[in-house]
């Protein structure tokens, strides 16, 4: 297994202009040595601002086929790319190759949620959910397994992949798809280290927007959950990676939810305390989960009745 280190890496970060992706870019650039960090997203303006924020420089360098990469020096550059468009991802690969950059770590952080009832979502919301939460991931991952076979791939799913519930129809199914893709790639690409992170709530631009459309019943089922900072979320992930684990949650509830999901297809699960998770999952699925699901069913039924009275 490839040892995780913050130094001597060529890092490509999808969704690196904000949130957790930006925080990982900061960590590699500021805490590591001899790194080339490439942050990627659709927005040139956000990317430029992110690079300036991280580097402390007044200007930001765009990665092009003419970019000269300085050996033995950490640097951060940006590349604009709509990762949901496969042809643009292929062009990104060609630019990296022309600069003699072969990524050693690829972070697939791009994503975003638009909570809402399925019937209230627009067609454009559903399409965006598929593009931002899955196609951006699968396109870059496909390039990586074809051309960068020694690269460490880090996928970012969500805790709702273990427990999808009302209000997340635009988001949860795609995050579950990432979980399935990771299981398959671990079987097809045993030479690569493949990690999957299942974050809980963390404070970011996306989290603020998510709360603007979140239905009340979704908040009720989620319960009170204080969002940790992007920095703390990033630090927790790095600590677990350093320990050699590749299925990562960022809080206790995520770890518990993962334990209830450890079924027959988890022969390659590599999570912290997995034997305890397996035993806990057996008990939880026999005793705790059925009771909790009855409570959720009651909450949803009560919410529907309340909505009907208001109409």
Q: What 3 state SS string does the chain have?
A: CCCCCCCCCEEEEECCCCHHHHHHHHHHHHHCCCCEEEEEECCHHHHHHHHHHHHCCCCCCECCCCCCCCCCCCEEEEEECCCCCHHHHHHHHHHHHHCCCCCCEEEECCCCCCCECHHHCCHHHHHHHHHHHHHHHHHHHHHHHHHCCCCEEEEECCHHHCCCCCCECCCHHHHHHHHHHHHHHHHHCCCCCEEEEECCCEECHHHHHHHHHCCHHHHHHHCCCCCEEHHHHHHHHHHHHHCCCCEEECCHHHHHHHHCCCCCCCCCCCECCHHHHHHHHHHHHHHHHHHHHHHHHHHHHHHHHHHHHHC
User: What's the N-to-C CA distance of the chain in angstroms?
Assistant: 58
pLDDT of residue 266: 55
* Cα separation, 186 vs 194, whole angstroms: 7
Report in angstroms the alpha-carbon separations of 274 from 26, 121, 132, 236.
30, 38, 31, 17
pLDDT at 292 (0 to 100): 77
C-alpha dist (Å) from residue 10 to 28, 46, 249: 10, 21, 25
User: Could you tell me the domains of the chain?
Assistant: 10-282 (3.40.50.720)
Can you give the pLDDT at residue 99? 93
Residues 6+ apart with CB under 8 A from 95: 63, 64, 65, 67, 79
Q: Kindly list the averaged pLDDT for each block of 10 residues, start to end, along the chain of length 311.
A: 87 95 96 95 96 92 82 85 97 95 96 93 96 97 97 96 93 95 92 94 81 88 83 96 94 90 64 82 81 84 82 67
Strand partners, 288: none
- pLDDT score at 82: 96
CB of 32 within 8 A of CB of 7?
Answer: yes
Residue 309 appears among annotated catalytic residues: no
The pLDDT of residue 98 is 94
Q: Exactly one of 27, 46, 175, 179 is catalytic; name it.
A: 175
For tokens 């969704």, what's the residue?
A: 15
Annotated catalytic, 86?
Answer: no
| pTM of the model as a whole | 0.88
Catalytic residue among 78, 93, 168, 171: 171
Longest dimension (CA), the chain: 67
Task: Assess whether 87 carries a catalytic annotation.
Answer: no
Q: Phi/psi at 172 (nearest 5 deg)?
A: -60, -45
Q: What pLDDT, on a 0 to 100 scale, did the predictor assign at position 268?
A: 65
Catalytic annotation, pick one of 41, 55, 113, 157: 157
Distance, in Å, from the CA atom of 28 to the CA atom of 74, rounded to the nearest integer, reads 9
* Token pair 């990524």: residue: 103
Nearest to 157, CA basis, from 80, 246, 79 = 246
Residue 256, C-beta contacts closer than 8 angstroms, at least 6 positions apart: 280, 284
CA distances from 242 to 6, 235, 248 (A): 10, 11, 11
């Amino acid at each position: 297994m490839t040892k995780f280190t913050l130094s001597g890496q060529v890092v490509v970060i999808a969704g690196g202009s904000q949130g957790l992706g930006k925080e990982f870019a900061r960590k590699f650039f500021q805490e590591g040595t001899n790194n080339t960090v490439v942050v990627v997203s659709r927005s040139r303006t956000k990317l430029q601002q992110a690079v300036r924020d991280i580097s402390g420089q007044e200007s930001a360098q765009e990665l092009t086929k003419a970019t000269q990469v300085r050996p033995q020096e950490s640097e951060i550059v940006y590349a604009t790319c709509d990762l949901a468009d496969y042809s643009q991802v292929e062009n990104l690969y060609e630019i990296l190759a022309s600069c003699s950059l072969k990524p050693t770590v690829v972070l697939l952080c791009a994503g975003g949620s638009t909570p809402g009832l399925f019937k209230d979502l627009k067609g454009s919301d559903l399409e965006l959910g598929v593009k931002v939460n899955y196609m951006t991931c699968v396109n870059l991952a496909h390039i990586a397994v074809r051309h960068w076979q020694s690269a460490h791939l880090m996928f970012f799913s969500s805790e709702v992949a273990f427990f999808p519930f009302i209000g997340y129809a635009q988001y949860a199914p795609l995050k579950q798809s990432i979980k399935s893709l990771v299981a398959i790639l671990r079987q097809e690409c045993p030479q690569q280290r493949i990690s999957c992170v299942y974050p809980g709530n963390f404070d970011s631009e996306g989290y603020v927007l998510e709360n603007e459309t979140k239905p009340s019943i979704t908040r009720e089922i989620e319960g009170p959950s204080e969002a940790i900072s992007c920095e703390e979320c990033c630090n927790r992930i790095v600590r677990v990676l350093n320990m050699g684990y590749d299925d990562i949650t960022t809080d206790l509830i995520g770890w518990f939810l993962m334990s209830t999901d450890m079924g027959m297809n988890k022969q390659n699960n590599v999570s912290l305390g997995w034997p305890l998770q397996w035993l806990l999952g057996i008990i939880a699925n026999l005793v705790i989960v059925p009771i909790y699901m009855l409570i959720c069913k009651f909450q949803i039924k009560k919410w529907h009745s309340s909505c009907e009275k208001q109409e």
